[in-house]
Structure 1
C-alpha cells in the first residue's frame, strides 16, 4: 500500500470520501479523548476501518491528519460564516450576522470545534504551534476590529476602542464552548438571542439623554 498525496494532487471521489471519513472519525476521537490520546488505532476503529494502514495510505503521518482536521473545520467555519456576513448591506447588519452565524456553527459543529480547541491547546506547547495559533487568532481579531471600525466611520456604532470591543465580542463567542462543557443542555437559541442583543447594546449609537 502506497499513496499519500502532495498538495494540489488530484484525488478520486472515492479517495476524497475516504479522507473525509477518516477526518470525521479523528474529530470524534479527539473530542472524546483529546489529541494526545487520539491514536491511529482508535481513529481506525471509530471509522470502521480494518487497518491503520488505510489511514497512512491517505495521510503522510499523524501530524498530517491533525493538520487536515484543523484545515477542514476552519474551511467549514469560513464557508458558513463568511457568506452570511458578506451578504449584509451594512456593518451593523454584518456584526449581527457574525454573532448569529458563529452561534449557529457552534450548534452544528460542537465536536469539531472542541477537537480544534484541544489541538490548538496542544500545539501551543511547541514554538511553531504557538506561532500558528497566534496567527489564526490575530487574523480573526483583525477582521472583527476592521468591521467595528467601518461601522464607526459610517456612524452606525458609537465611539469606542475597536480592538478592545473586538476582544470582548470574541471572548463572549469563545465562551460558548466552555459553557457547553459545563452545561451540555444549554439553550443555544436563547444564548444566541441574548448575545446578539448584548453586542447591539455594546456598540449602538446612543441618542442625547438616552442611558448608555
Structure 2
C-alpha cells in the first residue's frame, strides 16, 4: 500500500529541492543521463528512495520540473507585459522580456530543451503539446488584435504574425546550444526592430 505523503512545509520544500536538482542535473548532463541517483546526489539526498517518496514516478518529477520552468517564465513575463500601456509597447516588452529571461536562465532553458526533445510521458502528452502551443500563440495573437483595433498595427493575418514572433523566440534556446556566446542583447534588439516594422500601419 502506498504511503500517503503529508502536505507540510517540510514536504513542499523537499519536493522543490528535488525539482531544482532535477532541472540542474538535466541541464548539466542531459535528460537521458539524469538518473535518480544523479538527481539525488545533486540534491544532497542520502537515498533515491526520498525521490520516490515525494514523486510517484519519474514522469511526475519531470512534469513538475517543466511546469516549474514555465511557471517562473510566465510570472516574469506577465509582470512586465501587463505594465505596458499600449499594444505596441506590450509587443516590444514581450519580445525583449522573453529574451532577457532566457539569457538569465540558461540552465533552465537547457533543461527545458532536453525535456522537450526527449520526454514522452507514459499515457500522457509531450512537455509542450499542441494545446499548450495554441494557448501561447493565443496570447500573442490577442495582443496583435488589440493593436490593430487601436490603429497601432497595420493589416495582417494575426495568427501568421503571432506564429512568426513566437517561433523566432522559441528558437533561441536551440541557438544557445549551438552558439553559447551569442549576443542575446543584440538578438532581442533585432527581433524587436523587425517586428516593430512588420506590424506598423
Same fold flag (TM > 0.5): yes
Query: Unaligned regions of 5+ residues in structure 2, if any?
Result: none
Give TM-score scaled by structure 2 length.
0.90
Q: Deviations over 1:101-125 (max 9, x none)?
A: 1011101222212222322233468
Counterpart in the other structure of 1:60 = 56
Query: Unaligned regions of 5+ residues in structure 1, if any?
Result: 206-212
Say whether the 8 Å CA contact 1:4–1:58 is kept in structure 2. Answer: no
Whole-Å separation in 1 of the counterparts to 2:127 and 2:64: 18
Does structure 1 residue 151 correspond to structure 2 residue 150?
no
Within-5 A mapping of 1:72-87:
72-87=68-83
Q: CA RMSD in A?
A: 2.1
Say whether the 8 Å CA contact 1:44–1:50 is kept in structure 2. Answer: yes
Counterpart in the other structure of 1:167 = 163
Whole-Å separation in 2 of the counterparts to 1:4 and 1:165: 48
Match of 1:183 among 168, 179, 182: 179
Counterpart in the other structure of 1:202 = 198
Which range moved further: 47-56 or 27-36?
27-36
State the secondary structure of the residue aligned to 1:129.
coil
Residue-pair matches, total: 200
Give TM-score scaled by structure 1 length.
0.86
Say whether the 8 Å CA contact 1:23–1:65 is kept in structure 2. Answer: yes
Say whether the 8 Å CA contact 1:145–1:166 is kept in structure 2. Answer: yes
Whole-Å separation in 2 of the counterparts to 1:36 and 1:86: 38
Distance 1:3 1:35, change over 3 A: farther
After TM superposition, which residue ranges in structure 1, 4 or more long, deviate above 6 angstroms? none
Distance 1:69 1:3, change over 3 A: farther
Counterpart in the other structure of 1:10 = 7
Q: Deviations over 1:21-45 (max 9, x none)?
A: 2111111222233323321011111
State the secondary structure of the residue aligned to 1:140.
helix
Whole-Å separation in 2 of the counterparts to 1:90 and 1:127: 43
State the secondary structure of the residue aligned to 1:158.
coil
Counterpart in the other structure of 1:112 = 108
Counterpart in the other structure of 1:38 = 34
